Structure 1
Amino acid sequence: MIEIKNLKKVYNGITVVNVPALQINKGESIGLVGNNGAGKTTLFRMILDLIRAEAGEVRSNGEVVAGGESWKKYTAAYLDEGFLIDYLTPEEYLYFIGGLHQQSKAQVDEEITALAEFFNGEIIKKGKYIRDLSKGNQCKVGVASCLLQNPELLMLDEPFANIDPSTQFRLKNILKDQNKNKGVTTIVSSHDLNHVTDVCERILLMEKGVVIKDIATNSSTLAELEEYFGVGQSSPITNTSVEFFDKEENH
C-alpha cells in the first residue's frame, strides 16, 4: 500500500524527517507516536504530497505520490481544521465532499444518520458555521468527511486530542470497524498511548524524524511505550533509550 524509500525533509538545515525504508501493507492499522517535533505531521504531509521531500519518495499502490493523481481517489485524510471549509455549515461541507465523490444528497443524508451517535447531537442542524464549532466538533466533521469517501487508506493526525471521552470511545470503534470489517488501511497519530495501542496493530515510534522502533502491538506494548516516554521525558532521545528497545527485542 505505502512504500517509503530514502525519504528526507530538511528545514533551515535541520533534518526533520529521515526514513530510509518503510512499508505499510494494505489492511494494516498503524499508530504513529512520538514527542512534539518528532516529525509525525511532516511525514503525514509528505505521504499526502502536501510538502515535497529533499530526497527519496513515497509510493502508494506502486504510484509515486509526488505529482500523482490516482492515489487521491482512494485516500482520505484529516490532519487539522485547515482541511475544512470553515464558512460552510457542517451539512453544506459534507454535501460538498459527497458531491465530489458522486454521492447524492440522499446518500450523504444516510451517512449522516449513521453517524448520529458519533456527532452526539452537536453537529447537524445547529445553524453554525464550521468556524464557530469547537476544535473537537470540527474534528468530528473532518472524520465524517473522510468516511463519506469510502477510502482504502484513511489517515488521521491526532484525532483524539480535542474530543470528549465518549466520542473517543466511539471514534475507536469506528476506526476498528473501518479496518477489521471494511479492510481500510488506517494510519493514526496520537499522543495518547492507550488509544493508539487499543486501535492499532502496529506502532511506529518516531524521534527527531527517525522511526526508531516498529512494534507489533501485543499485551506488553503499552507498558513498553510508557516506560520509553517516562525515560524520554527526562531527557531527549539518547543512546540509553534506544538501547532499552534493543534489550526489549532480545527478550
Structure 2
Amino acid sequence: MIQVKELKKVYSGVIVVNIPQLEIRKGESVGLVGNNGAGKTTLFRMMLDLIRPEAGEVLSNNEPVAGHEHWKNYTASYLDEGFLIDYLTPEEYFYFIGGLHQQTRAHVDDFLAGYGDFFNGEILKRGKYIRDLSKGNQTKVGIASCMLQNPELLMLDEPFANIDPTTQFRLKNIIKDANRKGVTTLVSSHDLNHVTDVCDRILLMEKGKIIKDIATNSSTLAELEAYFAIGNSIEPPASAELNIDPEENH
C-alpha cells in the first residue's frame, strides 16, 4: 500500500531521513520507534505530503502522494493538535469532518455514541472549545475524528502520550479492531510496550535510517528494551540500508 523510494530529507545540511526502500503492505499494522530526532515525525509528514523531500518519493496505492489528492480520500492521520481546528467545539469539529465525508449529523451522532467510554465524559457537551481542552483530550478528539472517516490507512504519531492508562487501554483496542477490519495502521510511539502490543511489525529508526525491521513476536519487546537500555547508536551496514525487505520478516 505504501512504498518509499530513495527518500531523503535535509535540514541545515544534515540528512534527517534517509530511506532507500520501504514497503508497507495493505492491512499491516506497523510501529515506528526511535529516540527523539530519529526522523519518525519527519517521515510521517513526508508520507502525508506536509513537507517535501530533497530526493525520492512516497507512493500510496501506486500514486505519488506529492501533488496528488486521491490518497487523501482513504487516509486519516493525527500527528499533533495542529491537525485540529481549535476554535471549534469538539461537536462542531466532528460535524465538520463528517460533512467532508458526506456524513449526516445523525450518522456522526451515532458514531460518537460508541465512543462514550473513550471520551470518558470529558469531550462532548462540556461547552469548551478544542483549544481549551487538555492535551490528552485534544488527542482523543483527533483520534476519534480519524476513525469517523472510516479510513483504509490510519497514521498516528505518539497517540499514547498525554492520555491516562484507562484511555491507553481503550485506544489499543480501537487500533487493534481497526487492523482486524483491514485498516493499514502506522503508529509512532516512545512507549515500547504499547507499540509492540498493537503492531505486528516494528521499524526501528536511528539518525534517519531504518536500522531494524522486526516482525513482532514474544521477544520483540525485550529486544527493543535492551537496545534502548544500553543507548545503542548503530550505523547499519550498507546491505541492511539498501535491502529492507518486509517479506523476510513474516
TM class by shorter chain equals over 0.9
Q: Specify the alignment match of 2:245 in structure 1.
A: none
Q: Specify the alignment match of 2:112 in structure 1.
A: 112
Could you list the per-position Cα deviations for residues 65-113 of structure 1 after superposition, in whole angstroms to 9, with x for gaps in the alignment? 1001100000000000000000000000000000000000000000100
Matched letter for residue 52 of structure 1: R
Tell me the TM-score normalized by structure 2. Answer: 0.94
Q: Specify the alignment match of 1:173 in structure 2.
A: 173
Q: CA deviation at 1:231?
A: 1.3
Q: CA deviation at 1:238?
A: 3.6
Rounded to whole Å, the distance in 2 between the matches of 1:42 and 1:207 is 13
Rounded to whole Å, the distance in 2 between the matches of 1:62 and 1:89 is 37
Could you list the per-position Cα deviations for residues 207-233 of structure 1 after superposition, in whole angstroms to 9, with x for gaps in the alignment? 10000000000000000000000111x
Q: Give the aligned length.
A: 239
Could you list the per-position Cα deviations for residues 43-64 of structure 1 after superposition, in whole angstroms to 9, with x for gaps in the alignment? 0000000000000000000000
Could you list the per-position Cα deviations for residues 3-60 of structure 1 after superposition, in whole angstroms to 9, with x for gaps in the alignment? 0000000000000000000000000000000000000000000000000000000000
Q: Specify the alignment match of 2:185 in structure 1.
A: 186
| Counterpart contact for 2:206–2:234, Cα < 8 Å | no
SS for the counterpart of 2:3 is strand
SS for the counterpart of 1:56 is strand
Q: Specify the alignment match of 1:208 in structure 2.
A: 207
Matched letter for residue 228 of structure 1: Y
Rounded to whole Å, the distance in 2 between the matches of 1:67 and 1:212 is 29
Tell me the TM-score normalized by structure 1. Answer: 0.93
Matched letter for residue 112 of structure 1: L
Rounded to whole Å, the distance in 1 between the matches of 2:92 and 2:111 is 14
Q: Specify the alignment match of 2:57 in structure 1.
A: 57
Q: CA deviation at 1:160?
A: 0.2
Q: Specify the alignment match of 2:94 in structure 1.
A: 94
Which one of the candidate residues 233, 237, 248 is aligned to 2:233?
237
Q: Specify the alignment match of 1:196 in structure 2.
A: 195
How well do the aligned residues superpose, as a CA RMSD in angstroms?
A: 1.3
Q: Specify the alignment match of 2:123 in structure 1.
A: 123
Instruction: Give the % identical residues.
Output: 77
Matched letter for residue 90 of structure 1: P
* Structure 1: runs of 5+ lacking an equivalent: none
After TM superposition, which residue ranges in structure 1, 4 or more long, deviate above 6 angstroms? none
Q: Specify the alignment match of 1:31 in structure 2.
A: 31
| Counterpart contact for 2:111–2:148, Cα < 8 Å | yes
SS for the counterpart of 1:76 is strand
* Structure 2: runs of 5+ lacking an equivalent: 241-247
Q: Specify the alignment match of 2:225 in structure 1.
A: 226
Rounded to whole Å, the distance in 1 between the matches of 2:230 and 2:30 is 23
Q: Specify the alignment match of 2:243 in structure 1.
A: none
